[in-house]
Amino acid sequence: MGKAPLTAFKYTWESLDVRFAKAIMAQQHSLNIRATRSISASIGVGARLSIMAVLNFIRILFLLSPFFLSLPQIARANEANAYAAIDNSIFDTSSLGESAQFGPFTIVSAAEAHLNGATDEATPSQFRQMITQYPGIKRISMIDCPGTENDDANLEVARMIHKAGISTHVPANGSVRSGGVELFLAGLKRTYEKGAQFGVHSWIDEDGMQARDVPANDPINAAYIGYYQEVGLPPQTARAFYAFTNQTAFDSIHYMSEQELARFQITN
C-alpha cells in the first residue's frame, strides 16, 4: 500500500482540527445552554418567591382590612365617649355646678339649692324628691319667694325643711314675702345679707276672709302660732309675730326693718 498524497494528509489534519473545534464549540454551546437554563431557573425561583411574598402581603392586608376599616369608627366612638365624659362632667347633677330642677327649687351644688317662685300643692312631693336625690343639701338660698298658692302645702314643706336640718338664707338681692317668710323661719340656721327683703301681711282664704275677720280662737290662728313655736320662736314671740303680720292687709305688704327682724327673732 503506497503513501497517501500530502494534500490528502493535509486535508485529513484539517478535518481533525475542524472536528475538534466543532466539538469544543458544541461543548461550549452546551455549557452556555446549561448556564442559561441555570440562570433562568434562578430568575424563575426568585420571581416565584417575589410573587409569593406579594400575594402573602396582599392576603395579610385582606385579613387585616376589617381592623383598618374599623379604626375610624373606633376613633369616632372614642371621640364621642370623650365628649360624653366631658358633657357628663359639666352637667352631672351629682357634682358642683349642677342645675336639676324640682318645682321652685334649683340645685346649685351638692349642698345647696335655690328657691325661686311660689309654692303650691305640688311642692311637697317635689321637695321630697329633691332631698331623696340630694340628701347632702344643707342650705336653701331664697332668691325670690313671693309666697304660696296653698298654705297647707307651704307649711308642709316648711316642716320638712326644719326636720331635715336645712338652713335658710336670703342674699342681699333676695326677697321673701308672705308665705315665703314662713319657709324662711323653717331653717335650722336662719341668716340674711344686708339688703334682703322680708315682707309680711295677713293671710286670706278662698272666701276672701282675712285674719281680722275671724275670732282669736279660730283654729287657723292656732295653726300659725303653733308652727312658729315648732321652728323655735318662744310662745310669746310667736303670738306677737303672728299679730304683727296680720296688722297689714292682704292686698298690701310691710317690709320688716332690721330692728323688727331682731325683735321677733326672725334670724338666729
Per residue in 96-127, pLDDT tens?
444 799 999 999 999 999 999 999 999 999 99
Q: Where are the beta strands (DSSP E) in 173-261?
A: 175-177, 190-192, 197-200, 254-255
Share of the chain above pLDDT 70, in %: 64
Q: Is the pLDDT of residue 2 over 60?
A: no
Rg of the chain (C-alpha set):
52
Where in the chain are the domains?
1-91, 101-263
Q: Report the distance separating Cα 125 and Cα 110, nearest Å.
A: 20
Instruction: Report CA torsion sign: 11, 14, 16, 19.
Output: negative
Return the beta strands (E) in the chain as ranges. 101-102, 105-109, 112-116, 139-145, 167-170, 175-177, 190-192, 197-200, 254-255
Mean pLDDT of the chain: 80
Residues 6 or more apart whose Cβ sits within 8 Å of residue 104: 115, 116, 117, 118, 119, 123, 126, 145
Q: What is the pLDDT of residue 44?
A: 57
Architecture of domain 101-263: Alpha-Beta Complex (3.90)
pTM equals 0.64
What pLDDT score was predicted for residue 36? 46
146-182 pLDDT, tens digit each: 999 999 999 999 999 999 999 999 999 999 999 999 9
**54-104 confidence digits (pLDDT tens):** 666 666 766 666 655 555 555 555 554 544 443 444 334 444 444 799 999
C-beta of residue 238 within 8 angstroms of C-beta of residue 230: no
